[in-house]
Structure 1
Amino acid sequence: MNTTQQTLNKIFKNPEQDLLMFDDLSKIDIYEKDEGKFYIKAISKMDEEKKVYDAKTGKGAPEEIVRQLYLVKLTKYYKYPKDLIELEKHVNFGREIKRADIVVYRPDGITPKIIIEVKAPNQENDVQQLKSYLNAEGAPVGVAVNGKARLILYRPYPKDFDDTLDDIPASDEEVEDVLAKRKTLNDLREDDLKETIKTLEELVLANSGHDSFDEIFKLIYAKLYDEKEALSRPNQELHFRKSPTGKPEETKRIIDELFEEAKAEWSDVFERTDKIKLSPEHLSVCVGELQDVRLFGANLRIIDEAFEYLLPDVAKGKKGQYFTPRVVIDMCVQMLNPQKKEYVIDTACGSAGFLVHAMQYVWKHLPTLEARKEYASRYLWGIDFDEKSTKISRAIMLIAGDGKSHIFKSSSLDTREWSDRFKSELADLNLVQEFDDFETNRHNQSTLQHLGFDILLANPPFAGEIKEKHLLAQYVLGKNAKGKLQNKVERHLLFIERNLDFVKAGGRLAVVLPQGIFNNTSQEYVRKHIMQKARILAVVGLHGNSFKPHTGTKTSIIFLQKWAEEDLDAQGNPTVADYPIFFATQKQSFKDNSGNYIFEKDAEGQVVKDEDGNPKYLSDLDEIAEAFVAWGKEQGLSFLK
C-alpha cells in the first residue's frame, strides 16, 4: 500500500465513504517530508505545500484532503489552469477579514468566477458563509463541499444566491451552458443522500411551510419514475432536471408532469389529489441538488440512512420505531435461510430492510432477471401502520430492483383495518390457512387470524400500550392468567402472539425483542405462550450500542420454528419436552457509544470490503450466524440441509 492510501486510512475512519463524491483517491500525492510528518503540494498558482498528517500527535487535516481532491477535479476535469486558482484568499467584511478556501478566476486573473468553501466530512457545509463570500466578491457561482456531498449555488441575476446548479461550468463554459446540457443515466453519481437532504432542509424545506418528508418523497418518486423510463428512451435521456431556460416555472412544469406519471405508475403510494406543494423557486433549488444523484441501483446503506434521517425523531421515539441495522438483518436472514419458493413477511417493515436482504440472499441462487422479478413481486410482503414508513419501504424495494411489492399501510394487530386489496392478495396466493372444521375455517377466513407464511422477520415497535378492549379480546396475551381481560398490554407483547399466528406450522421466525421478555419474572406467561406455540431455536443478545443514537434499550433476537402438527398432542400441546437451544451474545459492537458505525480494517488500516464491495462492519454477528448454521446442521434442522 502506498503512502497516500496509508495516510488517508489514518486520517479517515472510512476514506471511500467519507470522500464518496470523489471517484479516485489515488489522484493526490501525499509524501513524508520530515519524520512522521506528511504533506501534499497544492494545485494552485502558488504551489503551496500543505501538512495533512502528523504521526506523533495523530492529528490529521481532513478538510485539506477534501480541498486537494477538489483542486484535482477543477484542473483535470473542468480544465481550469492552476494559475487562475488561489487558496485562502482574503475576503473583507468591514474590519473583519476572512479567508475563502478556493477562488477560481476568469481569464483576466482578477474577476472571481467560482468560490469554493471546504469542510471536513464530519462537518456540515456552511451555506451562509459561502453566500457571504459570494456577495462580497461578486462571483456568480459558489460551491460548498465536504467530501460526502456538495452544494452549488448560483445567482439568477438580479436575484440573490437562492438557486442551485447540478454542476459547475468548466473553464470554457458559463452557467447557461450548464443549464443547457442534456442529462443521461450515465451522468448520475452516487452521493450521500442524507447530506443532500440536510442541505435542502437548510436552503428551503425548513422554511417552505410544508412537510419536508412529504415533499422530498414526492420528488424521490418522480425521480425514480424518470430513471426507470430513461432505460427505454433514446440515449437514456433524463427529464428530471432543471429547465434549460433556468426559469423555475418551467422546471416546476417538468417535475409536476413526472410526478403525475409516477402516481399513475405506483397508485398505491399517493392519493390521486396529491400535488407537489413547493413553490417554483423552492422546487428549482431541490431539483438542482437531486437531479444528478443516482437512486436506482444505488448503495442501499446510503439510501437507508437518508430515509431514516427523514423520519422525525419525535415520531420514532413515541412509536418505538428504530430501523434495524443491516448487519443484524444479515445475521437473521442467514440463520433462517429463506428459499426461492418461501413466502416472507415483516409485520413492522419500516424501511423494508428484512425484505430487501432476504431478496438479495435468495437472488444469489436465481440466475435470470425474470426469476428475480418473479420472486420479489410474489414472495416478499410487508406491513407497517405508519404511512411514512410504508412510503420508505416501497421506495427502498423499488430502488433495490423490485418493480412491484406487497407493502401495505395497516396495523398487523387488527385485521379489521386491512384493505380489500390486501385480503384478496392473501387469498389469491393461498396464504390464509384452512381448517377441516367448518366453523373454525369460516371464522379464520373472516378474521384472517391464522396465515400461511413460511418465514417472518420483524423488529416490532417497543413503545406504546394497547388499551382498546375489542383488540385485547382477540389475543390470549390480552388476558391475565385467570382469563380476565387486562386493562392494557404493551404493544410488542401482542406482536409476539400475532407474529406466531402469521406463520404456518413448521414456519420460522426471527423477532427483535427487549431484553426484559427473556428474564423478567413478570413476563413468564409470555415465555410460556411462546414455548406452547413454537420451538425456540436460538436467542442472540445484541450489544447495547446496536440501536444508538436513537435508543440504548438492550435487545435480543429470538429465533423460533413453529411446531408442526406431528409435534402436538390432541390438545395442541407440544410433545417435545426437552431440546437444545443455541445461545449467543454479541461481544464486538458495530457502533461506538455515539451510535457511529465502526468498520473493519486490515493490518494496513485499509477498510475491509464484503463480497458485494461494501465496507464491512466490525462485528462478530457473522461468526454467530455461521456457528448457528453449523450447530443447526448437527441438530438436523430441516431448513438448513
Structure 2
Amino acid sequence: MKLEVQIKDHKIFAPLQNKWLVLKPEENVRQQYICRLVNDYGFALDQMDQEVKVSNSQRGQGRAMADIVIWRNPKDKHESKSPIVVVECKAEHITVREEDYFQGYNYASWAGADFFVTSNIKETRIFKVIKGNIPKKLEEIIDIPKANIVNDEKKISDLLKQTKAFTRDEFSKLLFKCHNIIRNNDKLSPEAAFDEISKILFIKIRYERSNTGSQIFSKENFKKAKESYDQFKSKDAKDFYQNLFEQTKEDFKDDDLFEASEIIRIRENSFEAIVEELQIYNLSTTSDDVKGIAFEQFLGRTFRGELGQFFTPRTVVDFMVKVLDPEEGEIICDPCCGSGGFLIKAFEYVRAKIEQEIHEEKERIKLLYFDEAFDKMPEKEKEKVDEIVNDLFAKLNAELDINNEKSRLRVLSYDCIFGTDANPRMSRTAKMNMIMHGDGHGGVHHNDGLLNVNGIFENRFDVILTNPPFGARVEKSLKISEADKYTDEARIIKYRQRYGKAYDEALKQVNNNIGKPLLSLYKTGAMSTLTEVLFIERCLNLLKPGGRLGIVLPEGVLNNTNLQKIRDYVEGVAKIILITSIPQDVFIASGATVKPSLLFFKKFTEAEAKEYKSIKTKAKNEVDSKYLIKVAEQKEALVMVEAELNTVSKEIKDFKTFKRGLKVQVNQEKLDDLFERETQSKNKVKEAKKIYVDALKQFETAKENEIKALIKQRFDYQIPIAEVEKAGISTTGSVIENELEPLEVEFTAYRKANKLWENVIEEVKYEIIDENIFRMVAGEPEIFYGK
C-alpha cells in the first residue's frame, strides 16, 4: 500500500514515531521524503527512524539530531549498528548547498553511514561519506541504494563511484541519444530534431513541476494518461501527445516560446521512445548544475558549426561576468543572447551572492543561539530555542523560494534578467537553457536586438553582457515595418503597469518610425552599417547612466582609422574601463574566424555627462577663438584679390559707358588691356578661394584634433589594456591554461582601488600606476596602459 503524507488541523502524522506533530516546513519535507523512501526505494518503516541523536556534536552547530536514519534491516536498527543512509531535510525551495550541510554530513560520518542525503523535496543531493575524516569538499553522487540491494556490497560500491560529473555526462549523452532517435526515425535535420527535443523537455518540465513528490514524466505515466484520454476523446480531438504539447504551449504562452500553430513534428512512437529514455531524470529535482551543464554540452555537440556563433565559450563568459561583477537588484541584459550563456552566468553569479548572504546569516544565528548557555539548558528550553531558530531559518529560506513573489530569488529571476535574439530557435533555446539552470527565462524574447520589446528599452539596464554578430551589415534599404510593431494590447497594458510611462516612450522607437530605415534610429548608422558598430550604440543606449557594458568585438574595432568617428562617439558617452585581447583559438572551436577582443565600458553618469559636455564646450570655444584670427587672415587675402577684381571690372564698365556717352570710337587697345587685367584677377580670386577653402579644411582638422587633445587632457583616465595568450580553450575545444582567471583578480583589485563602479563623480586625476601592480607572474601577459 502506498504511504502518503497525512495533514489535518495544522498537524502532520509521523509514521516513524506513530504520532501527530506540529506542521512545520521542514517537518513537511521530512514526511514527504519518508514516503519517497518507502514508495520509491522500498524501505520498511521498521528499518528507519527520525530525529536520531548522534554523538560527537560540537558547539555552534545546533542539536546533534539526524532527521532520518536508514539501516540495512530492522535487526541492525535494533542492535544500534551503523546505518547505511543519513538524511538531512530542509524547508522546500531552499537551494541545497554543500557548505550548508557539513553538519548533517558530520552526523552521517559519526554514525558510520555510507550515504548522506540532503533534500528539500524539489531538489535532492546525495554525498558519499568518507570514513575516518571530514573532507574539505563533499563528493556528490547520483543516488542512494534501493532496499533490495543494501546488502550487495558490489552494487553499493558501484553506486558510490557514480559521481555528479558522471551524471552530467550521462544526461548529456542521453539527450544526444534522443536526438539521434528523431534523426533516424523521422529524418529531421539536426536543428529540427533539436526543436522536437526542446518541445518534449518543456512538456516534461511542465508535468514534473505540477506533480509533487517523485512523479516523473515516465513512459508508464504517459501510457496511463493516454489510455484515460483516449477513452473520452472525440473523433476530431488531437492525439494525446499533441494535446500535451497544446497544454504546454498554454502554460508557457506568456513566454512566446512557440507559434500558436506549432505541433509536435515527430511520430508518437519516437515521442514515447524519448520519454522512456528521459524517464530516469526528474527535471524538477535534478540539480541545476547537472542538467544545466549537460544541456549546454548537448547544445555544443548539436549546433557546433551551423550555429557556432551563438555560443560564447564559458571561460570568456565567466571572465566577463566576474569583471562587471553584477549585484543583487541590478538589471541585466544581453540583446544578442544566443543560447543564453551570459544571462545564465549572471543569474547564477548573483544567485550565489544571495545564497552566500543567507548562509552567513544562518551561521550568525547559530552562533547567537547555540552558545554555551544553550548547552546547559533543559531539554524543553532547547526545543524552544530550536523553534525560534527554525522560524528564523524559515524566513531566510523563503527568500530563496522562486514561487514566493516577494523573495529575493524571484525578483532576480523575473525582474532582473532580460535578453533578445533575432533567431527564433536560439531565443527558445536560451529559455530552455535558463530553465535548466534554475530559471530567469521570462525576460528572454525572440526579437531584433536593435528594437525595443517588453522591458528591453533605453536607459534601463545596470549591466549588459553581449557577443553581437561580427562582420554582417544592416542594409540601407532595410526599413521598420508594421510587422515590427507590438500589437498585443493585453501585454501592452501589463507592461505599461510594470514599467510606467517609460514603456510608452519605448514603443515610440518603432511606432513613430514605420517606413524609415533601421539605420536612421542610430547616430552611428550614418557612420557605419556594421552590426557590431550598431550594437555598441544600442548597448550604450540601453544602459542607465553609470551602467556597465562588456562586449565581444573584432580586434581593433575602435582603433580602425575608418571607424574613428565611432570611437569618438563612444568616448563621448562612456569610459573605456578595460580592453582585453584574447587569442583567436578561443572562438575557432565555435566556428568563428575573427580575432576577438573583450571591451568593457562604463556609461557616463549624469554628472560625468555634464562634466564631459562642459569640457567639450570650453575646449571648442578656446580652439575656435584661437583659429578666428587665422581664418580672418586667410579671409583677408581672398578679400584683397576680390577687391582687385571688382576694381578692374568697374573700370571696364565705366570705360564702356564713358565712350558710349561721347559717341567716340572705343580705344580697343586699352579695353583689351583691361580685359587682360580682369582675367588675371579672376584667376587670382579662383586660386585664393581654393587656398581659403583648403585652409578652412585644414583648420577644421587641426581644430578637431586640438579639441580632442584638450578633452583628453581635462577628462583624463587610464585605460587598462591586457593581452592573454591562453584563455582556457584550444582550437579543438579542449581545456587548457586560462590566463583570464588571474587577470580578473588583478583587474578587480584595480577596479576596487579606483572605485570605478561608484557613481559619485569628481575630477579624478589618476596617478601613473606602477607597472608592477598590474604585471602578472612570469611567463604570463602583462597589462599596460593607453589613453
Match of 1:564 among 605, 610, 628: 605
Correspondence for 2:411: 374
1:375–1:547 distance in 2 versus 1, CA, 3 Å: same
Match of 2:724 among 586, 610, 620: 586
In structure 2, give the amino acid aligned to 1:391.
R
Match of 1:461 among 444, 458, 469: 469
Match of 1:407 among 435, 444, 447: 444
Which structure features the higher share of strand residues? 1
The answer to whether the 8 A contact 2:216-2:281 is kept is no
Structure 2 CA distance, aligned partners of 1:532 and 1:189?
51
Structure 1 CA distance, aligned partners of 2:526 and 2:574?
20
Match of 1:362 among 350, 356, 362: 350
Work out whether 1:286 is the aligned partner of 2:265: no
Structure 1 CA distance, aligned partners of 2:519 and 2:561?
22
Match of 1:273 among 258, 261, 266: 261
Structure 1 CA distance, aligned partners of 2:172 and 2:608?
49
Secondary structure of 1:538's match? strand
In structure 2, give the amino acid aligned to 1:196.
L
Query: In the TM superposition, what is the alpha-carbon distance from 1:358 to its structure 2 partner?
Result: 1.0
Structure 1 CA distance, aligned partners of 2:199 and 2:271?
14
Match of 1:474 among 488, 511, 521: 521
In structure 2, give the amino acid aligned to 1:513.
L
In structure 2, give the amino acid aligned to 1:563.
F
The answer to whether the 8 A contact 2:199-2:245 is kept is yes
Query: In the TM superposition, what is the alpha-carbon distance from 1:228 to its structure 2 partner?
Result: 5.2
Gaps of 5+ in 1: 1-169, 172-185, 427-447, 481-485, 599-617
Bigger CA radius of gyration? 2
Correspondence for 1:612: none
RMSD over aligned Cα atoms = 3.4
In structure 1, give the amino acid aligned to 2:724.
Q
Structure 2 CA distance, aligned partners of 1:384 and 1:264?
22
Mapping of 1:53-68 within 5 angstroms?
none
Correspondence for 1:262: 248
Query: In the TM superposition, what is the alpha-carbon distance from 1:539 to its structure 2 partner?
Result: 0.5
The answer to whether the 8 A contact 1:343-1:455 is kept is yes
Query: In the TM superposition, what is the alpha-carbon distance from 1:327 to its structure 2 partner?
Result: 1.7
The answer to whether the 8 A contact 2:546-2:759 is kept is no
Structure 2 CA distance, aligned partners of 1:190 and 1:254?
31
The answer to whether the 8 A contact 1:219-1:259 is kept is no
Structure 2 CA distance, aligned partners of 1:245 and 1:508?
52
Query: In the TM superposition, what is the alpha-carbon distance from 1:305 to its structure 2 partner?
Result: 2.6
Work out whether 1:513 is the aligned partner of 2:513: no
Secondary structure of 2:521's match? coil
In structure 2, give the amino acid aligned to 1:213.
E
Match of 1:624 among 743, 749, 753: 743
Query: In the TM superposition, what is the alpha-carbon distance from 1:633 to its structure 2 partner?
Result: 1.6
Structure 1 CA distance, aligned partners of 2:550 and 2:320?
6
Secondary structure of 2:738's match? coil
Secondary structure of 1:405's match? helix
Query: In the TM superposition, what is the alpha-carbon distance from 1:304 to its structure 2 partner?
Result: 1.3
1:568–1:593 distance in 2 versus 1, CA, 3 Å: closer
Correspondence for 2:594: 553
Structure 1 CA distance, aligned partners of 2:724 and 2:218?
45
Match of 1:531 among 551, 563, 571: 571
Gaps of 5+ in 2: 1-147, 150-163, 231-237, 359-398, 401-406, 478-516, 617-710, 761-787
Correspondence for 1:123: none
Query: In the TM superposition, what is the alpha-carbon distance from 1:345 to its structure 2 partner?
Result: 0.5
Summarize deviations over 1:67-121 as a string: whole Å, max 9, x none. Answer: xxxxxxxxxxxxxxxxxxxxxxxxxxxxxxxxxxxxxxxxxxxxxxxxxxxxxxx
Secondary structure of 2:323's match? helix
Deviates further, 512-521 or 588-597? 588-597
1:190–1:461 distance in 2 versus 1, CA, 3 Å: same
Mapping of 1:572-611 within 5 angstroms?
576-598=714-736
Deviates further, 628-637 or 189-198? 189-198
Query: In the TM superposition, what is the alpha-carbon distance from 1:343 to its structure 2 partner?
Result: 0.7
Mapping of 1:57-456 within 5 angstroms?
190-206=168-184, 208-227=186-205, 229-230=207-208, 233=211, 235-241=213-219, 255-267=241-253, 268-293=256-281, 295=283, 297=288, 298-311=290-303, 313-316=305-308, 321-366=309-354, 367=358, 368-369=399-400, 370-402=407-439, 405-415=442-452, 418=453, 422=454, 425=455, 450-456=458-464
The answer to whether the 8 A contact 1:544-1:554 is kept is yes
The answer to whether the 8 A contact 1:242-1:284 is kept is no
1:400–1:314 distance in 2 versus 1, CA, 3 Å: closer
TM-score between the two structures when normalised by the length of structure 1: 0.56
Correspondence for 1:55: none
Summarize deviations over 1:517-566 as a string: whole Å, max 9, x none. Answer: 04432222222221111101001111221112212421111111011222
1:269–1:525 distance in 2 versus 1, CA, 3 Å: same
